Amino acid sequence: MTDQHTHRTIGEALDASGVSRRSFLKFCMVTASMLALPPSVGRVMAQQLRKAKRPSVIYLSFQECTGCLESFTRSFSPTAENLLFNVISLDYDDTLMAAAGSHAEAAREKAMKDNWGEYLVIIDGSVPMADGGVYNTAAGKTAHQTLMEVVEGAAAVVCVGTCASFGGIPYAHPNPTGAVPISELVTDKPVVNVPGCPPIPEVITSTLVHYVSLGKVPDLDEHGRPLAFFGNTIHDRCYRRPFFDQGKFAKSFDDEGARNGWCLYELGCKGPTTYNACATVKWNDGTSFPIESGHGCLGCSEPGFWDKGSFYKPLAAGTYTSAEKIAAAAGAGVLLGAGAAVASRMKRKSRLHETDREERS
């Protein structure tokens, strides 16, 4: 087993693995293309990557389900192994690493000390803040404490998954643990959000490669998400869009419309308001994505997606529900109307009081 610390540069690591320059260049070009960068950047990427020292990466997991890490390991290009052994030096991940307990913590502290100011921190899961943060503790420290300690010497932070990016599932009403997204706590370092529940594997890995090879975070949208993958909505790229435009909708699962592959808008698809790469990059090396498999988009890469109303109610249906409020308004309207009529009649009477009483016309 190659010691991941042996080879100082990525180029050396790749040569040792027997990856030809040609196939490495190809990998870089593909990655550049996925990031919507021009081919010239691909070549730069290849040069830089070969020279680059494999950066130290510390992966922290807080209130999460580990789905994001699972997704990460299913990346096809680059593969997780490729990434782990050739591109980065994953110095701490409590799920993947062989060590445990105080040995694992010691490895983390050493990596931090050796690479202070240069290491990349990847985080999945939200941080609970209620009741002193007791709802997620490890090694005797709260998630909040661990986060602030580790991030202090980081060069950049990548939040993987909607929980880390926006709070995700723990953040949903009533949020009993007081979960917050990482960006609320880390304000003095560059933070990249890679949301999704989970994010697409290649989206995670390509973002990391971008950072490692070009030395900076990719262009981000107003939510801190890489524009390359989160710049369009699912709706913009959905192959079922013509059916939406024509008004051909599936009305229930497995009805005629569903079997004909019509648009899933009426079944609650949140594609029009969800930014992600599912419709283009897809899942399982481009096999499919939820809509293609017949289920509407849940909007899982958007802030607060869990609280935005039913997954199965169409976007047009809205999230207002209060029949009681409307009934109260109706009652108020009737009262106001009656009051106005009474006032009007009284005013009329008082005006007529001054004139002939016999006239009852």
Binding site residues, another protein, CB under 8 A? 233, 235-236, 244-249, 265-266, 272-273, 303-304, 308-309, 313-322, 325-326, 328-330, 332-334, 336-338, 340-345, 347-348, 351-352, 354-356, 359-361
Q: Could you tell me the CA-to-CA distances from 45 to 3, 78, 87, 315 in Å, in that order?
A: 25, 14, 12, 41
Q: How far is the CB of 263 from another protein (least distance, A)?
A: 9
CA pair distance 8, 72, nearest whole angstrom: 24
Q: How far is the CB of 288 from another protein (least distance, A)?
A: 23
Q: Indicate the residue type of 35.
A: L
CA pair distance 253, 267, nearest whole angstrom: 8
Other Cβ atoms less than 10 A from the Cβ of 324: the count is 8
CA pair distance 39, 106, nearest whole angstrom: 42
Nearest residue (CB) to another protein, 1 versus 316? 316
Q: How far is the CB of 250 from another protein (least distance, A)?
A: 11
Q: Which of 115, 120, 181, 127 is nearest to 151 (CA)?
A: 120
Nearest residue (CB) to another protein, 3 versus 359? 359
Nearest residue (CB) to another protein, 132 versus 333? 333
Q: How far is the CB of 360 from another protein (least distance, A)?
A: 6
Other Cβ atoms less than 10 A from the Cβ of 310: the count is 9
Q: How far is the CB of 167 from another protein (least distance, A)?
A: 14
Q: Which of 55, 349, 79, 352 is nearest to 216 (CA)?
A: 55
Nearest residue (CB) to another protein, 54 versus 235? 235
Q: How far is the CB of 129 from another protein (least distance, A)?
A: 20
Nearest residue (CB) to another protein, 135 versus 275? 275
Nearest residue (CB) to another protein, 140 versus 247? 247
CA pair distance 202, 200, nearest whole angstrom: 6
